[in-house]
Structure 1
Amino acid sequence: MSESAASQNVEEVLRLEQVRKAFNLGTPLETEVLHGIDLRLCRGELTALIGPSGSGKSTLLNLIGLLDAPSSGELYLLGQATRNSDDETRTRLRNQAIGFVFQFHHLISAFSVLENVLMPLMIRHGRPSSADIDLARSLLNEVGLDAFADKKPTQISGGQQQRVAIARALITRPPLLLADEPTGNLDTRTAQSVFELFHRINVQFGCAVLVVTHDPRLAADCARTIQLVDGRIVSDHSRTETR
């Protein structure tokens, strides 16, 4: 558990208790990738997850994002146990509680920037309401792209596209934001700009943010850094002051 999380009266968003993940269960090729992970994330925490390639970061992120289930142990999201949940329950909880930002933004080129931000709500409800559109425009303003709402993703830069993806991830007001190498496809200056945005979002929206990154400079700029090596958390360090 993070010292900062333990010392503050803040809402727990995520908790993992002795989570293990193995593949090819019951066969001669059975391999355990994660070995008894204990982890807690609370609202307002900006946390970096680091580790060498093959350490299990992607596997762990898939479990946290409810895209896969642990082999044993338990994962609680907003206090709800998830390991034995059916697909419908997991999908509903994932859509309500988690926003995703990936290295490759996965914007839809046929739609405008505004429509891309609205996409999670359009999938959920169909035609967006005027309140939905106002919220999307507000989020574009927050990420500095309100003037680009009617442009197509191909008409803006890579850094701007990633900002659109961040606004899209926030449209459902998720208590947990997961970012998988969100700056890995950007130049250093643009990466720093995007990471500054994560800081601002973390403060303004109060969500828990977990960022997987290979960039030690960006990790050092987070209030908390978790290091994963060979499927085990080897360090979980919090800093009182990071900026």
Structure 2
Amino acid sequence: MSDTVDQVLRLEGLRKSYNLGLPNEVEVLHGLDLTIGRNDFAALIGPSGSGKSTLLNVIGLLDRPTSGELFLLGQATSGMDDTGRTALRGSSIGFVFQFHHLINAFTAIDNVLMPWMLTQGKPDRRARDKARTLLAAVGLEKYADTKPNQLSGGQQQRIAIARALITEPALLLADEPTGNLDSQTAAEVFELFRRVQQERGCAVLLVTHDPRLSATCDRTINLVDGRIVSDTVNNRDEAVIPH
């Protein structure tokens, strides 16, 4: 477990149920304890229906746990109102999904700036320069004024990664970010996540169904039936990124 000062995320006895008080009430997450440190590059794996998406939504402050506590950058979140949770999420968490959810009516750079605009308003020159720098970092600077539907799937996912980084998050959450890509492009996007984590110092928690991909992460957290059944450090020397 990371020292408290190095923790980005800590879960203590976290539970999540749906249909509370109804005959069909069901508990999906069963008292999870988990810590993610500032330098972690971790994979979250598990079979379909194990609760991975539910856990990611709770960690991302998109949904509230039923009980237990979630600490983000040392702040307990259970007592926060929606405004406080939204502000903390916007400043501290970046999201990348399997389907990039870019807006085709906007250019690549405007898509990257979207989280900034939601929290800061109209972007100034400094924000636009920052967005261009991020597009350059993902190899797409020359496509800044291009609409997403004119780019490949891999290029669109790179824009989504740049978008997730515009607020300089401490935690990057990725839900099957390579699941909609061919194997070669998936390997390239995965390597980009690795470079982002090393160069920008944000923790990465990546949901994947691919055990070969999870083996190339530093750590693998296995969720089964809403319980963490293993949390292991990987031997990356033996891992090969799938192409």
With the shorter chain as reference, the TM-score category is: over 0.9
Equivalent position SS for 2:71: strand
Q: Could you say if the C-alpha distance between residues 122 and 105 of structure 1 is closer, same or farther in structure 2, counting changes exceeding 3 Å?
A: same
1:171 deviates by 0.3
Equivalent position SS for 2:131: helix
Residue 231 (1) aligns with residue 190 (2) = no
Aligned-pair identity (%): 65
| Amino acid in structure 1 at the alignment position of 2:199 | Q
Q: Give distance in 1, aligned partners of 2:48 and 2:234.
A: 25
Q: Give distance in 2, aligned partners of 1:204 and 1:150.
A: 26
1:137 deviates by 0.7
2:193 corresponds to which residue?
198
- The count of residues paired between Structure 1 and Structure 2 equals 238
Return the match for 1:53 from 48, 51, 75.
48
Q: Which is worse superposed, 100-109 or 24-33? A: 24-33
Q: Give distance in 2, aligned partners of 1:240 and 1:77.
A: 28
Q: Give distance in 1, aligned partners of 2:119 and 2:66.
A: 30
Mapped contact 2:14–2:68 kept (Cα < 8 A): yes
Residue 140 (1) aligns with residue 141 (2) = no
2:104 corresponds to which residue?
109
2:29 corresponds to which residue?
34
Equivalent position SS for 2:189: helix
1:13 deviates by 0.5
1:67 corresponds to which residue?
62
Q: Give distance in 2, aligned partners of 1:152 and 1:100.
A: 20
Q: Give distance in 2, aligned partners of 1:210 and 1:159.
A: 20
Equivalent position SS for 2:228: strand
1:12 corresponds to which residue?
7
1:94 corresponds to which residue?
89
Q: Could you say if the C-alpha distance between residues 10 and 81 of structure 1 is closer, same or farther in structure 2, counting changes exceeding 3 Å?
A: closer
Q: Give distance in 1, aligned partners of 2:208 and 2:235.
A: 21
Q: Give distance in 2, aligned partners of 1:60 and 1:150.
A: 36
1:207 corresponds to which residue?
202
Mapped contact 2:10–2:72 kept (Cα < 8 A): yes
Q: Could you say if the C-alpha distance between residues 59 and 214 of structure 1 is closer, same or farther in structure 2, counting changes exceeding 3 Å?
A: same
Q: Give distance in 1, aligned partners of 2:134 and 2:5.
A: 25
Any unmatched runs of 5+ in structure 1? none
| Amino acid in structure 2 at the alignment position of 1:125 | Q
Root-mean-square deviation over aligned CA pairs: 1.3
Q: Give distance in 2, aligned partners of 1:115 and 1:24.
A: 39
Equivalent position SS for 1:204: helix
Mapped contact 1:34–1:232 kept (Cα < 8 A): yes
Equivalent position SS for 2:136: helix
Equivalent position SS for 2:64: coil
TM-score for the superposition, normalised by structure 1: 0.95
Mapped contact 2:17–2:28 kept (Cα < 8 A): yes
1:10 deviates by 6.0
1:125 deviates by 2.2
Q: Deviations over 1:21-68 (max 9, x none)?
A: 111111211111111100000112100000000000011001000011
1:178 corresponds to which residue?
173
TM-score for the superposition, normalised by structure 2: 0.95
Q: Give distance in 2, aligned partners of 1:209 and 1:66.
A: 16
